[in-house]
Copies of this chain bind each other. A is one copy, B any other.
């Protein structure tokens, strides 16, 4: 099978852990054990989140006063290099030397007319008090919003439209390489209005599960796995009616409600992949990767009668 696995943030950094390179490497090493088992049996494409890593780069950039902080597209590119390196190196230590691994920088096109641009929702970077936040908003053209007791910058989270590096990904996959790509949902880019098809970076964040769903569809993956820190998707989570979802169709899932912030994008990403391809998407924990690949663990989403569920 050709399998796309989107690694959740906790595969790189557990909640509350200091964000040292050492901690991240230790977590990646654990994740690599699971990934190596899959890579030994299947074609494997790995994508990953980058939220805390972009956050740290933004904090470091803000702390150093002598140079202007880089924009979000550039910070995203930096995290693709950093996280891609840790995953490539630790996975490489577990696979036979002969197995090639390719970490490909990935740019993703978004639509300048995406409604997300009129309603930015993703918090990024340091916290400020209200006055400082509003001063920065005026100075840099940021949108700032209250986040609990503090204020923070918010950026749009537009939908991914197109992945630019699909052909190199396919070529190296066909040669047997494990591919690491689309980190952080890809670097957000768009064609600038008015100019002649000029691609530019965008100060935005693309949801990595939605981007990986598009990636899995475009690469004609047989299975799309979102590896996160919960064992499955639950209906009516936190209520007495709470139900673990094991096998559902995209239509059943589409009729349910999930919180926008947490499971929402994962559920949408699974539903879109399964509906578009007739193949299975799975959501669960990385520790259960064998069960997720087999379809015996986590939440499995596939069309009725597809034989994939």
Which residues of A pack against B, CB within 8 Å?
18-21, 56-57, 59-68, 70-71, 73-74, 77-82, 84-86, 88-89, 92-93, 97, 100-105, 107, 164-165, 167-168, 171-172, 175, 177, 180, 187, 189, 197-201
| Cα distance, A79 to B78, chains bound together (Å) | 6
In contact, A77 and B68 (Cβ under 8 angstroms) = no
**Contact residues in B for A61 (Cβ distance below 8 Å):** 60
> Is chain A's interface secondary structure helix, strand, loop, or mixed overall?
mixed
> Are B164 and A168 in touch, CB under 8 angstroms?
no
CB distance B100 to A103 under 8 Å?
no
Q: Is the CB of B171 within 8 A of A70?
A: no
A18 and B67 alpha carbons, distance in the complex (Å) = 7
Across-interface contacts of A80 in B (CB, < 8 A) = 81, 85
Chain B residues whose CB sits within 8 angstroms of the CB of A88 once the complex forms: 105, 107
Tell me the nearest residue of chain B to A53, going by C-beta.
Answer: B78
Complex contact A68–B198 (CB within 8 A): no
Q: Is the CB of A107 within 8 A of B78?
A: no
A271 to chain B, nearest CB (A): 31
Which of B68, B74, B89, B103 lies in contact with A189, CB distance below 8 A?
Answer: B89
Given contacts A73-B85, A84-B105, A104-B104, 18 further A-B contacts (CB under 8 A): A18-B67, A20-B68, A56-B64, A59-B67, A60-B60, A63-B65, A70-B82, A78-B82, A79-B81, A80-B81, A85-B105, A88-B105, A102-B165, A105-B105, A168-B172, A168-B177, A171-B175, A171-B177
Contact of A84 among B77, B100, B172, B200 (CB under 8 A): B77
Query: In this complex, what residue of B is CB-closest to A201?
Result: B89
Contact A64 B67 (CB under 8 A): no
Nearest B residue to A65 by beta-carbon distance? B63
Q: Considering the complex, give the chain B residue whose CB is closest to the CB of A75.
A: B82
**Chain B residues closer than 8 Å to A78, beta-carbon distance:** 57, 78-79, 81-82
Contact A198 B20 (CB under 8 A): no
A-B pairs, 7 with minimum CB distance: A81-B81, A77-B85, A103-B105, A63-B64, A102-B168, A60-B60, A78-B78
